[in-house]
Structure 1
Amino acid sequence: MSNQQPSRRKFLTGAAATGAATLGFPAIVKAQGPISMRWQSTWPSKDIFHEYALDYAKKVNDMTGGDLRIEVLPAGAVVPAFGLLDAVSKGTLDGGHGVLVYHYGKQNALALWGSSPAFAMDANTLLAWHKYGGGKELLNKLYSSIGANVVSFPYGPMPTQPLGWFKKPITKPDDFKGLKYRTVGISIDLFQGMGAAVNALPGSEIVPAIDRGLLDAAEFNNATSDRL
């Protein structure tokens, strides 16, 4: 057995592929010293979704007794939110927390995990399809098609989301014509077809963009970011 310490990137992929084997040799891992991983989220530091990522990292750090240390940085700390996939794939970051649909621009089919019609499935059923109905295998193929060297573990299914927050009342479809509107995923194409001037922004940039007058309205999962 080689004494060369594996890179953090190799450990990440190896643990995903052979987790049982890794756990089966705790003395070997411990002899190499603590393994540190630097992750980034696609959320600002006070957003509830970033807090989810921090909670996960704390649980892992506590459960491993310090042998594995995950640090989670907020959006923009290393790369912009939409650059997270590339950063993890290239090894600039060891991991990330976000939503798959943020990378719709690289592979449109990623909208299946974010903004597409749910094909009669609610959020929990969609997650079940990913785990047991072939979704995981399809996602791996999509990553391969764009050369992304990552493994994803979707969780936390999100139910139907609000249409958005608007500066003026929306009473008919024509009200979207010329509206500066934020959304992501396949919704970009939908609202562009309705005449909206769509600006695809990560969640961390919505409120600042509205404050600067760059948006008239925005769609987002929930209103927690309003407190930022």
Structure 2
Amino acid sequence: MSDQTNKPATADLSRRTFLRRGMLGGGVAAGAALAAPAVLAQSPIVMKMQTSWPASDIWQEMAQHYANRVEAMSAGRLRVDLLPAGAVVGAFQVMDAVSDGVIDAMHSVPVYWYGKSKNASFFGTGPVFGGSATTMLGWFHQGGGAELYRELTQDILGLNVVGFMGFPMPAQPFGWFKTEVNTVADIQGFKYRTVGLAADLLQAMGMSVAQLPGGEIVPAMERGVIDAFEFNNPSSDLRFGAPDVAKNYYLSSYHQASESFEFVFNRDFFEDLEPDLQAILEHGVEAASTANTAFALDNYSSDLQRIRDEFGVTIHRTSQEILSAQLEAWDQLIADLENDPFAKRVMDSQREWVERVTYYELMNAPDYRLAYEHYFPGRLAL
């Protein structure tokens, strides 16, 4: 933990400090407080939590999964006031708002504060060494990622936050295009929406990149500000109206293959809670992660079928030529990023984890495609 001795003596009284002083203070105030302990015990702590998602997006529902579990596990002692993007601050401003205490918590992704430090992308949209999102969430919890994240946010950037990761996202589609794109030459000069280090990656491959919040993507496509885009998943893309502006949807890509949600709390707010409530906020992330995963598999798969069958969109797998070019572009980007000592430490840690863990995963996993094609022949896109 970073040193907190510089906090001003006039800092606002915490909720617990206020209640404790009210109950133990002298005279009538103390008597009144002691006369009504049940009323005090029933007063919930309200946590104002803003997301980076539009109110209509599936991720807002997934954030609500977390809020519901926190409230249930705390028996109502914690109540989550869950707000969509823009309710207090913009989608990309939630980290500053949490650190400054404007809001108590956020539900977002690290790449949305990439403007503070490119190192943010290593915790969601960094180089793909071969590990899946599940592999890299394991790195965060068991491979040293959590301590590196704490070092970046608290020590290097001086942010007054505590953060956790949950929900290993399926690899993100390459995205939506008006025409087929099968070669690297096909994407040259495209004005394309993505975020974080993926922006650097695809610029190196010849695209012109705009970094936009989810709610601004389709309007930008309609106005011709961008020619193509990705966001994250079939359900969000369908709700945004993506099938109305493009008819070629490319799944599978290395540009953002291992992202997770980020649950971040103002450090003063978090540390002022009773230990059991801190534990509920932390481990509630794990509970929501499991719920989010099942919910995503159900909705992403059914919405992908709707995109194909109801909206006439052609579903593709990204070509091997483009995937290979992405890895080559990552190689060049990694070489530049390693000039930053912290970035090099993060990538060294990730490579060590992936080399060991993914060896086990790949050696252990049967060929699921073989089994799928055995029972559902001809279903998969080439």
Equivalent of 2:101 in 70, 91, 94: 91
What are the within-5 Å matches in structure 2 for residues 14-163 of structure 1? Answer: 31=41, 33-144=43-154, 145-163=156-174
TM-score (norm 1): 0.83
Match of 1:6 among 2, 14, 18: 14
Corresponding residue number in structure 2 for 1:186: 197
**In the alignment, is the contact (CA less than 8 A) between 1:104 and 1:111 conserved in 2?**
yes
AA matched with 2:99: S
- In structure 2, the residue matched to 1:22 is none
Match of 1:156, SS state, is strand
Deviations 1:80-109 (A, max 9, x none): 111011011101111010111111121111
TM-score of the superposed pair, with normalisation by structure 2: 0.51
**CA–CA separation in structure 2 for the residues paired with 1:197 and 1:56:** 36
For 1:57 and 1:115, how far apart are their aligned partners in 2? 25
The sequence identity of aligned pairs, in percent, is 49
Pair 1:175-2:183 in alignment: no
Kindly provide the CA deviation profile for residues 54-98 of structure 1, in whole angstroms up to 9, marking residues without a partner as x. 121122223323221111111111111110110111011110101
The higher-RCO structure (CA 8 Å, 6+ apart) is 2
Alpha-carbon distance between aligned partners in 2 of 1:153 and 1:122, rounded to the nearest angstrom = 18
1:171 deviates by 2.4
> In structure 2, which of residues 239, 245, 264 is the aligned counterpart of residue 227 of structure 1?
239
What stretches of structure 2 of length at least 5 have no aligned partner?
1-11, 17-36, 241-382
AA in 1 matched with 2:239: R
The worse-fitting range, judged by mean Cα deviation, of 102-111 and 36-45 is 102-111
Q: In the alignment, is the contact (CA less than 8 A) between 1:42 and 1:204 conserved in 2?
A: no
Match of residue 216 from structure 1:
227
Q: Return the alpha-carbon distance in structure 2 between the equivalents of residues 92 and 147 of structure 1.
A: 16
Paired letter, 2:185: D
Preserved contact between residue 114 and residue 185 of structure 1 (Cα < 8 Å):
no
**1:116 shift after superposition:** 1.6
Q: CA deviation at 1:31?
A: 4.2
The letter of the residue matching 1:172 is: T
| SS of structure 1 residue aligned to 2:76 | coil
Q: Distance in 2 between matches of 1:84 and 1:134?
A: 25
State which structure, 1 or 2, has the greater radius of gyration over its C-alpha atoms.
2
User: In the alignment, is the contact (CA less than 8 A) between 1:50 and 1:74 conserved in 2?
Assistant: yes
How far apart are the structure 2 equivalents of 1:151 and 1:208? Answer: 34
Write 1 or 2 for the structure with the bigger share of helix.
2
Q: How much does 1:33 deviate?
A: 2.9
